[in-house]
């Protein structure tokens, strides 16, 4: 039996980082890392009240740790954990979600105790393998799977994808009836109170958190709530903020109310895939990533687990459908699900199909023909998978999702956007800029785009900023430390390049076909017909509404034609490029 320290303890540092431990049930300890002064969290949050990172230690005959903490708490957290376990081995680490604020210390924990078995969803385990870069024991779980720790601690796992990442699970301890939710039902609110003792002080932060993280996936929230409704819950142990004890049912109902209202208002794409078959889940998530770039809501539905009523409801209400070919089996167990989808669709929808590379896919073209007979618009050409998964295939699938999202958004944007005041519109249009082609290569993936919103930002170090629309395909290749080339076009000689790169390329198409290029030192393509080029490295990204501002450095450049002049883009209106 593991010996716990005093039921309440607070450890502090001089930098307003404190750590609080308290027993919340028999053999169950909360470990709360209090970050009092944090004023921003990711891009979404401007914090008024700091935040906390909560994890939990469950001690039965075996010991499980539920989530870890942020890297900044390394010394405090590991010292406390050592005290709490009194030198005993932690058998399991439950990873409800893999963002660094909850998984930042997993690598350090494995260095101390490499025998720990990590429990998480299939996606979570895949994410961790890319984050940790060391072997570890693991067990993939999904809804209905259980883990018995002994002494009344029977853990039940619930899949909750897209709340707010695709890797999310919830963990329910049926003994003390505690639901461990990580980000779900959380809030960025830091104070010494372990529980929701003064809900009136928490309401604004609770809703702000929901609006930023959960509202875009409202239908996924409702799906998770259906699974939660079957549980008897005494305490919701969240990953951020106070634990929900006194008003937990009311907090849950607020999620339901907000999500029901949002799901009725927001159009979405339903992506049906077969988990654990071929590359179905990988392709589905790449397409979803492309859709998310356009601001389009997505519902991911596993054909093998979905309830027929839910399938019918989701397929009927979706603005578009994307379907991964399920496997042909002896009993064709997924065929009724496909028939349910066919019966629920209508001719105002779009549909896209993809193969999975599983070797036994249902034929894709008969299903394509059936949807065409029903009058559905083809969202993108069928994605045919003949090779192993690769960055190139991921890029093709993401671009297919982006194209679909742009198609769905086009009419809505025209209805939604307010026209600019004519004087303001004309004045904005008088801001002129150069003409450039951004080119990038990341592994096997390449991309390019015509750009004009480019400025120099500093002399020391030499810095540039480029504005990139969030739904541009190249955006995925322009994250921190990524490299690209800024090709500067020449007045009087820019039309062929501009015309080529303004074309609408099919998903996965080679944007450089027919264009002479050579490789820069950073690996990105240089256009032979450009006036000049600069090799750039991404430093930071700033959210600017419908664009990202890419802040970058440059230290290599060359001018091909010393007497040449940069091509200039003159506009007359400020509401488009």
- The tens digit of pLDDT for each residue in 488-509 reads 999 999 999 999 999 888 888 8
> Which of 390, 416, 442 represents a domain boundary (last residue)?
416
User: Is the residue at 545 inside a domain?
Assistant: yes
What distance in Å separates the CA atoms of residue 43 and residue 106, rounded to the nearest whole number? 24
What integer is the mean pLDDT of 420-447?
88
More confident residue, 2 or 47: 47
**Higher confidence at residue 13 or residue 401?**
401
Q: Are residues 225 and 291 in the same domain?
A: no
pLDDT band at 307 (very low <50, low <70, confident <90, very high): confident
Q: Is the pLDDT of residue 6 over 60?
A: no
Residue 521, pLDDT above cutoff 70: yes
| Predicted pLDDT of residue 40 | 54
Q: 34-62: buried (b, 16+ CB within 10 Å) or exposed (e) per residue?
A: bbeebeebeeebebebbbbbbbbbbbbeb
Specify the residue for token string 């090779």.
387
Q: Which residue has the higher pLDDT, 337 or 450?
A: 450
Residue 577 lies in a domain: no
| Cis previous bond, 419, omega within 30 | no
Greater model confidence, 271 or 387: 271
How would residue 275 be classed by pLDDT, with cut points 50, 70 and 90?
confident
| C-alpha distance from residue 129 to each of 8, 120, 122, 219 (Å) | 35, 12, 11, 29
pLDDT in tens, 339-369: 999 999 999 999 999 999 888 888 999 999 9
**Domain shared by 210 and 307, yes or no:** no
Least confident of 6-15, 70-79, 270-279, 383-392: 6-15
Shared-domain flag, residues 552 and 511: yes
Q: Give the total number of structural domains in the chain.
A: 3
The per-residue pLDDT for 528 is 95
Between CA 74 and CA 51 the distance in angstroms is: 17
Q: Mind giving me the DSSP string for 40-65?
A: EETTTEE-SS-EEEEEEEEESSSEEE
DSSP state of 112: H
**Helices in 144-247 by DSSP H: which ranges?**
199-209, 218-228
Q: pLDDT band at residue 7, thresholds of 50, 70 and 90?
A: very low
* pLDDT reading at 441 higher than 50: yes
Q: Are residues 483 and 383 in the same domain?
A: no
Query: HSE of 39 in the Cβ direction (CA atoms, 13 Å)?
Result: 1
| 57 shares its domain with 181 | yes
The per-residue pLDDT for 56 is 97
> Does 384 share its domain with 445?
no
- Domain residues for 237? 8-264
Give DSSP secondary structure letters for 501-570: HTS-PPTT--TTTT--EEE-TTSPEEETT-SEEEEEEEEEEEEETTEEEEEEEEEEEEES-TT--B-EE-
In a domain, 377, yes or no: yes
Residue 133 within a domain:
yes
Q: Report yes or no on 553 lying in a domain.
A: yes
Q: Does residue 44 have a pLDDT over 70?
A: no
Tell me: do 274 and 260 sit in the same domain: no
Q: At what angle do helices 280-293 and 122-132 cross, to 10 degrees?
A: 80
Does residue 8 have a pLDDT over 60?
no
pTM given for the model: 0.69
Q: Indicate whether 203 and 293 sit together in one domain.
A: no
Instruction: CATH number of the domain at 334, please.
Output: 3.40.50.360
**Which domain-ending residue is among 416, 433, 458?**
416
Whether residues 135 and 199 fall in one domain = yes
User: Is 276 found in the same domain as 162?
Assistant: no
Mean pLDDT of the chain: 88
């Amino acid at each position: 039996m593991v010996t716990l320290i005093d039921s309440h303890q607070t450890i502090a540092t001089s930098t307003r980082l404190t750590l609080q431990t308290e027993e919340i049930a028999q053999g169950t300890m909360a470990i709360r890392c209090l970050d009092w002064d944090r004023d921003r969290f990711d891009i979404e949050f401007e914090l008024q009240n700091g935040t906390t990172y909560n994890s939990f230690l469950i001690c039965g005959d075996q010991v499980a740790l539920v989530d870890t903490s942020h890297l900044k708490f390394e010394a405090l957290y590991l010292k406390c954990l050592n005290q709490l376990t009194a030198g005993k081995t932690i058998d399991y680490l439950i990873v409800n979600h893999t963002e660094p604020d909850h998984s930042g210390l997993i690598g350090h924990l494995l260095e101390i105790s490499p025998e720990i078995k990590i429990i998480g969803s299939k996606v979570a385990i895949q994410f961790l393998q890319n984050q940790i870069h060391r072997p570890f024991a693991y067990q993939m779980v999904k809804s209905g799977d259980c883990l018995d720790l002994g002494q009344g601690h029977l853990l039940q796992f619930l899949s909750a994808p897209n709340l707010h990442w695709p890797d999310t699970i919830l963990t329910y301890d049926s003994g003390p009836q505690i639901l461990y939710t990580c980000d779900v039902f959380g809030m960025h609110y830091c104070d010494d109170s372990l529980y929701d003792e003064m809900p009136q002080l928490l309401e604004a932060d609770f809703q702000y958190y929901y609006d930023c993280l959960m509202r875009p996936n409202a239908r996924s929230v409702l799906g998770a709530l259906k699974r939660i409704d079957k549980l008897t819950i005494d305490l919701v142990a969240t990953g951020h903020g106070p634990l929900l004890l006194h008003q937990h049912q009311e907090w849950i109902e607020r999620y339901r109310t907000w999500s029901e209202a949002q799901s009725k208002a927001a159009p979405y794409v339903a992506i049906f895939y077969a988990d654990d078959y071929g590359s179905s889940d990988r392709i589905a998530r790449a397409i979803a990533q492309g859709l998310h770039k356009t601001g389009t809501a997505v519902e991911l539905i596993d054909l093998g687990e979905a309830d027929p009523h839910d399938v019918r409801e989701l397929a009927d209400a979706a603005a578009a459908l994307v379907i991964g070919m399920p496997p042909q089996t002896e009993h064709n167990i997924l065929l009724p699900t496909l028939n349910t989808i066919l019966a629920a669709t209508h001719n105002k929808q779009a549909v896209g199909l993809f193969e999975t590379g599983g070797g036994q896919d249902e034929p894709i073209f008969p299903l394509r023909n059936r949807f065409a007979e029903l009058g559905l618009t083809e969202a993108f050409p069928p994605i045919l998978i003949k090779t192993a998964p690769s960055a190139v295939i991921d890029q093709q699938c993401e671009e297919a999702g982006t194209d679909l999202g742009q198609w769905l958004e086009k009419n809505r944007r025209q209805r939604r956007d307010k026209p600019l005041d004519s004087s303001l519109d004309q004045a904005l249009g008088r801001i002129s800029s150069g003409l450039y082609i951004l080119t990038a290569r990341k592994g096997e993936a390449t991309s390019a785009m015509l750009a004009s919103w480019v400025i120099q930002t500093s002399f020391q170090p030499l810095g540039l900023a480029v504005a990139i629309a969030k739904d541009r395909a190249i955006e995925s290749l322009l994250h921190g430390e990524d490299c690209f080339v800024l090709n500067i076009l020449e007045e009087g000689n820019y039309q062929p390049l501009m015309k080529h790169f303004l074309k609408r390329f099919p998903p996965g198409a080679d944007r450089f076909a027919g264009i002479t290029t050579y490789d820069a030192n950073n690996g990105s393509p240089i256009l032979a017909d450009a006036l000049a080029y600069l090799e750039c490295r991404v430093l930071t990204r700033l959210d600017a509404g419908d664009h990202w501002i890419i802040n970058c450095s440059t230290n290599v450049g060359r001018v091909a034609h010393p007497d040449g002049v940069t091509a200039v883009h003159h506009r007359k209106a400020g509401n488009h490029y």
